[in-house]
Structure 1
Amino acid sequence: MAKNKKPKILTVETAAKSKLFTIESLDLEFSNGVKRTYERMRRSGREAVMMVPITENGDLLLVREYAAGTEEYELGFPKGLVDLGETPEDAANRELKEEIGLGGTTFIPLKKVVLAPSYFSSEMTLFLVEGLYPETLEGDEPEPLEVIRWPFNQSDELLSHMDFSEARSIAALMLAQRYLAKNTLSNKTD
């Protein structure tokens, strides 16, 4: 498969700016001579993390949190930004303590994902977290998050649950299912 030559960036200008986002307008010229203008969110320089915490009893821990984009309470896995000087694992542990009142001892990276790469460049590392222990840190959420326990052996039903619709949470769950199935199978054959 031939690799495409990246388009030439002719200009980059700020199209709009808010407290959280800067939208850039890019004038591009593709290798075939076609010129187009694209818009994207400027890189923030910060990564994010999402965790799939699983208890010793085999329960997934999720949070129900208000999402301004959908104007609904959404069910998903704990997540947050990586602070300056933190590793993704450090950020994942901090966010767990802030959002569900538990830390973890084992952080298994499942995959690094990008949301809407045509418009964003932000990366999120998805982790499976085991070895949970009680520890709470104060977070930045405007209200306490509802923690939901969901039996892992019923995780297929979670995939079709009406409130569980965030693509990153769905991807994280499917990757966790695959990881756990593979490692449970290999542990049985060892």
Structure 2
Amino acid sequence: MSHTQTDLYEQLTSSERLFEGKVINLRRDEVILPNGRTGMREVVEHPGAVAIVPVTTDGGIILVRQFRHPIGQIILEVPAGKLDPGEDPADCAERELAEETGFMANKLRKLTSMYTTPGFSNEIIHIYLAEDLVESDKQPDEDEFIHTEVFTPEQIREMIASGELCDAKSLVALCLAGI
């Protein structure tokens, strides 16, 4: 049986904002499904984010360790942060790198953009490789408490294999950076 992509689309008929927060919004959409029936979709709206793989001059990778309330754990991640309204992702990457690590990148290269969980959210993360780092002021957000640590690529591969490094955006970013 042959299909075209048009037989997959859902037509939006109405949308209702259920919650408006600091980081996310939640809405409920009513859609007409490809088979003509009506369906409901709950959508978490997110402004987007960046994730950065900072590589030191000697090939080390800077990661951040922080407590993540939704999972109740301290985890390792690549530096990352939320886009401000209208902010260019590359500018956000530079800002977040400085805020979280105390470094600026003379060389910043976009690796990709990816949707984190398209089944229920529109969040997109723009992933960057940061090289030729120079020290700057580390100024984390007032509600952000993080430690930075430098790891070798081998240490990172071991932490991935053991499950110690388990953040999805970080795994994708490190893979795309060739770690």
When normalised by structure 2's length, the TM-score is 0.88
Give identity over the alignment, percent.
26
Deviates more, 1:49-58 or 1:83-92: 83-92
Given that 2:31 and 2:39 are in contact with CA atoms closer than 8 Å, whether structure 1 keeps it comes out as: yes
Given that 2:112 and 2:128 are in contact with CA atoms closer than 8 Å, whether structure 1 keeps it comes out as: yes
RMSD in angstroms over aligned alpha carbons? Answer: 2.0
Structure 1 position 35 matched with structure 2 position 38 = yes
Partner letter of residue 151 of structure 1?
Answer: T
Gaps of 5+ in 1: 179-190
1: CA distance between counterparts of 2:38 and 2:87? Answer: 40
When normalised by structure 1's length, the TM-score is 0.83
Which stretches of structure 1, 4 residues or longer, exceed 4 Å deviation after superposition?
none
Given that 1:61 and 1:150 are in contact with CA atoms closer than 8 Å, whether structure 2 keeps it comes out as: yes
Given that 1:64 and 1:76 are in contact with CA atoms closer than 8 Å, whether structure 2 keeps it comes out as: yes
Match of 1:25 in 2: 28
Partner letter of residue 99 of structure 1?
Answer: E
Match of 2:4 in 1: 2
Deviates more, 1:8-17 or 1:33-42: 8-17
TM superposition shift of 1:84: 4.1
TM superposition shift of 1:79: 0.4
Across the two proteins, how many residue pairs are aligned to each other?
176
1:138 match: secondary structure: coil
2: CA distance between counterparts of 1:48 and 1:144? Answer: 18
Structure 1 position 98 matched with structure 2 position 99 = yes
> Could you say if the C-alpha distance between residues 117 and 8 of structure 1 is closer, same or farther in structure 2, counting changes exceeding 3 Å?
same
> Could you say if the C-alpha distance between residues 170 and 141 of structure 1 is closer, same or farther in structure 2, counting changes exceeding 3 Å?
farther
Match of 1:167 in 2: 168
Given that 2:102 and 2:139 are in contact with CA atoms closer than 8 Å, whether structure 1 keeps it comes out as: no
2:172 match: secondary structure: helix
